[in-house]
Structure formats: structure tokens, C-alpha cells
A and B are shown apart, each in its own frame.
Chain A
């Protein structure tokens, strides 16, 4: 059974870069596409982007200019970077298995999420 775990700093200063990593266990990262999703406190869900094991990506157009998702197959991990953060980037960040190519066509497996606060 695939499990996902996010890791990274819980506090980032304004204008700096937010960096998170998701570790995939119980399965190969090469088997699926993988996404990042975020949820501001008390608000709804926003898809950030996805990646596959070859490094092919697609991003939400609203965030594309500030976001990079990368993959490290040797560690079974994928990562998120968000540049030039502001308070509006404060959110719980989730990694999840992406719908692309999956039999369910949806996000069927999620990490527990990690809260990132942008503040000086």
C-alpha cells in the first residue's frame, strides 16, 4: 500500500522560497504521476501541479511562474519549490497520487499534509 509523507520547513520568510519534499513508500515512484495540492487555513483545495518519473510536469496556470516540481527516482521522492512567497502562500501542503493514468482518475492516495506559514 502506497504511503506519502511531506517534509520541509514549517516557516518561510516573505520573498523567500518554500521547499517541500514528498517521500513515496510502499511502491515505486515510477508507477504513477504525483501532485502537490494546497489548502489555506479554513479554505478549499487548490491543485499546484504534477510530475512523473521522467520529470514531465504540468502546473496550475495561476502559479506556474513561481513553481517548480522535480523528482528524484533514486530516493523515491518528488519536491516542490514556490518562489517569492507571500502570506497568501500560507497553507497546508499535500502531496498526492495524481489522476493521470490511474484507474480511478482521481487523487486516491494523500499524504497527511504539512502546514507552511509565511511570516517574518
Chain B
């Protein structure tokens, strides 16, 4: 099974400052169709997860452009250019190349 390892598990950030979350996969995530099905989801307190980024770097509909995704192979990153109060929550990377697995989650909180 593909294991996704996120770092850090907790990230205290000052409002207006950037934040970065890493996701490392135990295997390469390039599908036989040529796509890399690595995405990022945000879960605000008490809410279901919400898709932010799909196929490494594509913002989903309605997602602010301060969110960006990058990476290739087994290493991927989610960046928030300037953290806002509404960004508080847990962020998960997820792969759908080989079945579906989630990272452990990274809790973003305001300092």
C-alpha cells in the first residue's frame, strides 16, 4: 500500500506569514495514464474535508490563489503564501494513483 507521510504534523503560523506542508510518498505516484493523482484537502473544525488542489498543482474551483501545490515523483508540497484566520484547520494530502490513501494530516494553527 502507498503510505503518505506529512511534515510537520503541527504548524503554528503568524497571520500574514507563509506556511508550507510536505507530503512524501512511499512509492512514485505517476499513474499508467500519465497523471499524478496527488491532491490536498482542507478540513476546518467541525466540517467535512474540502478539495483545494488536485493533480499536484491545480486549484479547485473557488480556492484562493494564495494556495499552491508543487512536486513530482514522491515529494509534494502545499504552500499558503499569506495565512489568513480562515485557513485554520487540518490539511491532508491524498493519493488516488493506487487505491486511495491519506496522509496523517497537518494541523495549521495561528500563533
Name A's B-contacting residues (CB within 8 A): 35, 44-47, 58, 60-61, 94, 98-100, 104-108, 110-113
Contact = CB atoms under 8 A, between A and B. Distances in A.
A46 B102 contact: yes
A96 to B, nearest CB: 8
B94 A106 contact: yes
Contacts of B94: 45, 106-107
B13 interface: no
A-B complex: 9 closest residue pairs judged by Cβ atoms = A106-B39, A99-B96, A47-B100, A110-B48, A105-B37, A104-B54, A45-B102, A106-B54, A44-B105
Interface string B71-109: 000000000000000000000101010011111110000
Given A107-B41, A107-B49, 20 more contacts: A45-B49, A45-B94, A46-B102, A47-B101, A58-B99, A60-B100, A94-B49, A99-B37, A104-B39, A104-B51, A104-B54, A104-B58, A105-B35, A105-B37, A106-B39, A106-B54, A108-B51, A110-B48, A110-B49, A112-B48
Nearest to A60: B99
Contacts, number: 63
Contacts of A35: 100
Interface of B: 1, 35, 37, 39, 41, 48-51, 54-55, 58, 60, 92, 94, 96, 99-105
A107 B51 contact: yes
B73 to A, nearest CB: 17
Contacts of A112: 48
A108 B41 CA distance: 9
B10 to A, nearest CB: 14
Nearest to A6: B48
B50 A105 contact: no
Contacts of A110: 48-50
A24 B40 CA distance: 24
B75 to A, nearest CB: 18
